[in-house]
Every structure is written in C-alpha cells, then in structure tokens.
Amino acid sequence: MTGSLPPAVRRLIAATLVNTLGNGVYAAVGALYLTRAAGLSVGQVGVGLTVAGLVGLVTSTPLGVVADRLGPNRAYVGFLILQAITMSALTQVRSFVPYVVVAGVTAIADSGQRGAKGALIAGLSPADQRVRTRAILRVTTNIGMGAGMALAGIVLAVDRREVYVVALLVNAVTYLATAALVRFGLPAVERVPSATGPAASTALKDRPFLVFVALDGVLSMHNAMAQIAIPLWVATATDAPRWLISVLLVINSVAVVLLQIRVARGTESLPGAARAGRRAGLLLAAACVVLALTDITSGAITVGLLIAAALVHVLGEMLQSAGGWGISFELAPPGAQGQYQGAYAMGHQVGDLMAPLILTTIAVTWGWPGWLLTATIFLTAGTLLPIAVRRHPCWPEPTATRDQVATA
C-alpha cells in the first residue's frame, strides 16, 4: 500500500496512526467524561462544541498562512504540542467557562494542524501522489480511530473519573509522540517568506476556489448523514432492528479501509477530481432516494434497502473526499498550500456545524419528502462543483485534436 511512496511520507503515515489511536480513545469517552466526570450538562457541552466550531472556522485560513510562513513542519509540531496541552488542561475542567476556553483553544490547535498537515503532505509527496497519500492517511485514520475506540471500551466499562483522566492523558501523550515523530523523522519542507510568497489573503480572494469550498462543504454533510441522520432514521422511522445501526456504521468504516485508495485513482488531475465531485453528488442523492423508499416499506425489504443505501452513500463519500483533495491541491498556487488547505477545511467545518440541524429537521422529521429534498441538495452541489472549478485559471486548456492540428 505504501511501497511506492517516499520514506518521509511513510513516516508521516506512522505518525498519523499514533495520533489517531489517541483520538479514537477520546472520541469514545470525551462526551461521557465531560458530563459524568467534569460535571457539565449536555447543553453546556453542546454550547462549547458550537463555540469551538465557530472558532475553528474563523481561524482556519489565517492559521494555514502561519503554516506557509513558519514552514509546515514547525507549524504542525507546534499545533500538536498545543493540542497535548489543551487535552491535559481538559482533565482539570470542573465548570462551564473553563471548558469553553479550553474548547476554543483546542479548536484553534485543531484548525492549525489540519492546514499544516495538508501543506506538509503537498511538500513531501510528488504532485501525482498527493491524493493517494491523502487516501492512505484516511485509511490509516480509520484504522487508528477504530483501534482507539476499541481500547476505550475498557474505560467505559470501569466508568470512573480517574480512568477517564488517564484516557485523556493517553491522548495527550499521543499528540506529543506524533510531534516527536514529525520533528525528528521528517525532512523540513521549505517555508515561504512573506516578502516572496503569495499574499495572506490569496485564498480568500480566489472566488472560484471559494465557490468550490462552499459546494464541497455541502457534499461533506455526508458525515452527519452517516453518523446522525441515518441512525436516527433507522431508530425512529423504520421497523428495522436497532442493531442494524451498528452494521451500517461498520459497513462504512470497512468500505473506506478497503476501497478509499482505489476510489481515489484518477483524481490527481483537476478534471478527474472535478468528475469525482459530480459523481459524489449523484451517488449521495441516490442514497437519499433509497432511504426515502424505506419510509413506505417494512421488514426484510427495509433492511435490504438500508444496506444498499449505506453502500451507495459510502461510495459517494469516498469520491467526495478524493475529489476534494485533488482540487484543493491543484488550485493552490506555489507557496500557498497551507492557506488553501486551511480555506478548504472551512467548507467541511461549515458542513459539520450545519448538517446535524439541516438533516434532522428536513430528512428525519419530514420523512420521504425530506429525503428527496436532501437528494436535490446533494445533486445540485455535485452538478455545480465542476462548473465552478472549470472557471478557475488553473483549469487546463483543452488540447487540440489531431484533425484540428491537421487543418491548421
């Protein structure tokens, strides 16, 4: 899987596995720690997460500029260390205000490391291997998160404050270990001095790119669709057994591990990545149509349709991811990978903020008409995405055909 990649990229993959192992532990226990051990209410946790999401959204692009100016290695290491500090600080939280402060700083660190990591991938990987590297990292992330969540089962079984604290500190240690692997195991990617590099506002003035970011953010609502909308739909609107929710989530995770790298082939070029975005919109819309049918079916037919919807959905999800990676890398001018990766992440951040409300209000509450409306949203975004990308100056000029050359 990684044999043809440069050694530095393989070491980045190993560092990602360490990092996501700790992230998986926290993903499984974080909410319970905050409500059961830190004494916060569910509402307070929700407000803190919303504030953190907004902070991350606002700081994403400026912190990408920081990665370009400092160099992605130094920026990535710095933000990983900051994440270790905030995770350790979270073990001392006992009230709402400190929690919001820690959550906000954590969001800054998370946004910063995402842009820096994207720039690091662009600097370490050959241009035709960047999307493949992203695909392998996504597979690695799924494996690491899954293993971490499995280990978190021990914490959940014991259900004591001291054990929750240990779990959070383990996550902090994995941030530090990842920072060490990056600092001492990877060659430095050249930084871009402000005097010679693109302006700090280049990405935010790139209108075709920002339109792509917005449309890609709409397509990224598939995350909430898989994790929130479909489970709620299965539990409240169908007669399918509740255990099917776990089956559908497993199908998603296993499919990504097995197929993401293969699905990403062909998205290294701008036209190929744009086609992937269009197909992603079509497939996500098709999954919504299949889910709409389950509003009027029952029994084994419903179970079969739900499994079919999960398979179509995850294929659209993988195409959306691969297409977005390819476009975000290709549209960035030299010296601006950090800020473009930061701006690219804004679309996903907006999607993550808005999708739970939109999908639960429209799809889950309205039933089959809501799913058909959601399908229309995905289909429209997928159709418009390649149109927006074609308007960018980076879009390759059409090559003359053999007949045109002969005529000339």
Return the closest-CA partner of residue 225 out of 305, 284, 302, 304: 284
Give the per-residue SS3 of 233-274. HHHHHCCCCCCHHHHHHHHHHHHHHHHHHHHCCCCCCHHHHH
How far is 283 from 309, CA to CA, in rounded Å? 10
The encoded tokens of residue 179 equal 């920072």
Domains and CATH numbers, the chain: 7-185 (1.20.1250.20), 202-390 (1.20.1250.20)
CA–CA distances in Å: residue 38 to residues 110, 165, 286, 347: 22, 10, 43, 32
How far is 196 from 249, CA to CA, in rounded Å? 47
pLDDT number for residue 108: 96
pLDDT number for residue 404: 47
- Residues recorded for the chain: 408
How far is 252 from 222, CA to CA, in rounded Å? 11
Residues of the chain with pLDDT under 50: 400-408
